[in-house]
């Protein structure tokens, strides 16, 4: 709610408290990454995104929903930091899964967003 109200720094602080109590909780990590991204803390969002990816791969390998969602956010952060090669890698990974769009929730949206961002690079 703090992030939605525009208090991204407050949202990050709250997520850190959650992670102190529940280390590597994917939901808290994802929420923190999103608050960091939305708040312009792009390098922090990328670091958290790496943790999200590691935790997803550890707990649910092959989870196309969680991985593609994370790659889109991290790709956008890389793009905004001017690291276009790193952004392109993340967007290409999402687009490569377009064939699974009917099987994976939200994947068509992530593919569409990745394609739009690729055009901007």
Q: What are the pLDDT digits (tens) for 41-100?
A: 999 999 999 999 999 999 999 999 999 999 999 999 999 999 999 999 999 999 999 999
Please indicate, yes or no, whether residues 52 and 77 belong to a single structural domain of this protein: no
Please indicate, yes or no, whether residues 51 and 73 belong to a single structural domain of this protein: no
Q: Best-predicted range by mean pLDDT among 5-9, 10-14, 22-26, 41-45?
A: 41-45
**In this model, does residue 26 exceed pLDDT 80?**
yes
Indicate whether this model's pTM tops 0.75: yes
Q: What 3-state class would DSSP assign to 65?
A: helix
**In this model, does residue 1 exceed pLDDT 80?**
no
**Which residues have CB under 8 Å from 24's CB, separation 6+?**
51, 55
Q: How many domains does the chain have?
A: 2
- The residue range of the domain holding 105 is 63-121
Q: How confident is the model at residue 5 (pLDDT cuts 50, 70, 90)?
A: confident
Query: What count of residues does the chain have?
Result: 121
Please indicate, yes or no, whether residues 39 and 18 belong to a single structural domain of this protein: yes
Please indicate, yes or no, whether residues 68 and 108 belong to a single structural domain of this protein: yes
**In this model, does residue 7 exceed pLDDT 90?**
no
> With contact defined as beta carbons under 8 Å apart, do 94 and 111 qualify?
yes
Please indicate, yes or no, whether residues 79 and 111 belong to a single structural domain of this protein: yes
Q: Which of 88, 86, 99 is nearest to 107 (CA)?
A: 99
Q: Report the alpha-carbon distance of residue 92 to residue 102 in Å, rounded.
A: 18
């Amino acid at each position: 709610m703090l992030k939605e109200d525009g208090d991204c720094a407050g949202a990050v602080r709250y997520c850190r408290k959650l992670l102190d109590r529940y280390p590597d909780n994917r939901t808290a990590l994802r929420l923190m990454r999103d608050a960091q991204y939305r708040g312009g803390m792009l390098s922090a969002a990328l670091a958290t995104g790496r943790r999200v990816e590691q935790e997803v791969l550890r707990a649910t390998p092959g989870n196309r929903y969680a991985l593609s969602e994370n790659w889109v956010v991290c790709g956008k952060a890389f793009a905004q930091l001017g690291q276009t090669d790193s952004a392109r890698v993340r967007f290409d990974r999402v687009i490569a899964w377009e064939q699974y769009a009917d099987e994976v929730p939200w994947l068509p949206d992530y593919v569409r967003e990745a394609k739009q961002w690729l055009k901007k690079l």
